[in-house]
Amino acid sequence: MSALSNNLIQWHKDKGRKDLPWQISTNPYKVWISEVMLQQTQVKTVIPYFERFMKRYPTIESLANSSEDEVLSYWSGLGYYSRGRNLLKSAKILKQNFNSKMPNSSEDLQALPGIGRSTAGAILSLGFKAKAPILDGNAKRVLVRYFRINDPIDLTSTSKLLWKIAEDNLPEKECNIYTQAIMDVGALICTRTSPKCSECPLSKNCISFNENKQNLIPVKAPKKEKPVRKVYWLVLKNKEGEVLLENRNAKGVWQGLWSFPEFNEEEQRAKYAEQLPLSNPKSIENMRLKHTFTHYKLDIDLQSIEIKEKLANFDNNKLWFNNDEIVNVGIPSPVLKVLKKIKSDDKNCFLQKV
C-alpha cells in the first residue's frame, strides 16, 4: 500500500467524517444520489436536500415512478438542474433494465445519464466497497499538491495523469475508507485557499508542502471572460395573489423548470404588457437581477405588474400558481428569490428589496 493511501486510511479511522446522512446505513443508491447532489455543491447545502429527497424517494423504483416536475421540485434552488432530470432518466433505465438495482460495473454505471467516471468510482467504492478510483475536485486538489504537479489542473493531459495516479494509489483493502478519506482531506484540510498543512496526515510526503508551494498549486489555465446574456422577465400577479409562470420546455439549463415569462427584447415585453388590464398604473415595478452559470452570465431586467383579472387565454405552457402549488414544481433559484419576496413584502412594492 502506498504511503498516501495508508496515511489517509489511518487518518480517516481516527478523524474522518462518518456521520453524514448518506453514510448512515449506506447503500449504492444513497451514494449515487449524494454524489450527484455534491457535484458543484457543498456538503452543508446538500444535507437538507438529500434528506428531503430520500424521504420522498427511498428506493430507485419510487424515483423511477415519479414525474420530472415532482423531481425538480425537490431540486428547486440547488442549481444544475440537469442533475435532477438525469437522476429520473437513470432511475427509469434502472427499473427497466436492472430490476431497480444499481449495477456494480463501471461501464454500466457510466452508461447512465449524469454518471461520469468519478461518480461511478464513488458508487463502486463507497456503495459496493469495491476497488475503484475517484477523481472529484477535492481528490484532484490533494493529488496535484501532494505530487506537486505544476501543469494546469483543467488540462486533459493533467486529468489523464491524475487518473493514472489515482489508480496506482488505490489500496487493495478498505478502498471505501480511502475514498472517503481523500474526499474529506480535500474538503476539510487541503482546502482551495489556505490549506491546513499542519493538520494534514499527508504533510510528511507532500511535495508542495515540503517546498512551501502549497498556495501556488493547483495552477489553473487563464479564465475566459463569460459572455453576458440579457433577458427581460415579466412578473404577472393577479388579485388573488397568484403569479404566472411558464414552463421552460426548450432545451437548456432550466429545461422542465418554471420561470417568469421571458423576452429577448424590452419592446417585446412592453408590447405584451400593453394588452394587460392593470389593477392600477402604480402596480408596475422594475428591477435588475444577475445570475451566473458555468458558461455565461444572465443579466435579468425584471418588471412586475399586478393585473385586475385572472386572464386565462395564455399559451399551454403558462399557468397561474398560488403559494401552495409553487412548492410542487421545480423553480430556479433567481425565480425563487423573487417569489419569496412576493410572499413576504408589501403587496405593492414586493420587488424593491429582492
Residue among 149 and 235 whose Cβ is closer to ligand SF4: 149
Cell numbers 467504492 correspond to: 125
Instruction: State the helix-helix crossing angle for 137-146 and 156-168, rounded to 10 degrees.
Output: 80
Q: How many residues would you count in the chain?
A: 354
Q: Does 189 bind ligand SF4 (CB under 6 A)?
A: yes
- Measured CA to CA, the distance from residue 60 to residue 101 in angstroms comes to 7
81 binds ligand SF4 per the rule CB under 6 A: no
Tell me the window of 73-81, 142-150, 159-167, 244-252 that interacts with ligand SF4 (CB under 6 A): 142-150
User: How many other C-beta atoms can be found within 10 angstroms of the C-beta atom of residue 238?
Assistant: 18
CB of 172 to ligand SF4, least distance (A): 23
Dig out the grid coordinates for 337 from the structure: 428569490
Choose the binding region for ligand SF4 from 114-122, 188-196, 266-274, 289-297 (rule: CB under 6 A): 188-196
For residue 170, the tally of other CB atoms under 10 A from its CB is: 18
142 binds ligand SF4 (CB under 6 A): yes
Contact between 143 and ligand SF4 by CB under 6 A: the answer reads no
Q: Phi and psi for 85 in degrees, rounded to 5?
A: -65, -40
User: Closest separation between CB of residue 240 and ligand SF4, Å?
Assistant: 56
User: In 3D, which of 31, 37, 62, 60 has the Cα closest to residue 50?
Assistant: 37
Is residue 257 involved in binding ligand SF4 (CB under 6 A)?
A: no
Q: Does 195 bind ligand SF4 (CB under 6 A)?
A: yes
Binding characters for ligand SF4, 146-185, by CB under 6 A (x = yes):
x---------------------------------------
Distances from the Cα of 206 to the Cαs of 145, 180, 250, in angstroms? 7, 19, 48
Bridge partners for 52 per DSSP: none
Q: Which stretch binds ligand SF4 (CB under 6 A): 204-212, 226-234, 235-243, 275-283?
A: 204-212
Q: Which residues between 210 and 239 bind ligand SF4 (CB under 6 A)? A: 214
Cβ proximity to ligand SF4, 136 vs 306, nearer residue: 136
Closest to ligand SF4 by CB, 34 or 203: 203
Is residue 35 part of the annotated active site? The answer reads: yes
The CA distance from 346 to 314, in Å, is: 27
Nearest to residue 182, comparing CAs of 1, 17, 19? 17
Backbone angles phi, psi at 195, to 5 degrees: -60, 145
Residue 202 makes contact with ligand SF4 by CB under 6 A: yes
| Active-site hit among 35, 174, 242, 246 | 35
Binding residues for ligand SF4, rule: CB under 6 A, are: 142, 145-146, 189-190, 195, 197, 200, 202-203, 206, 208-209, 214
Write out the catalytic residue numbers.
35
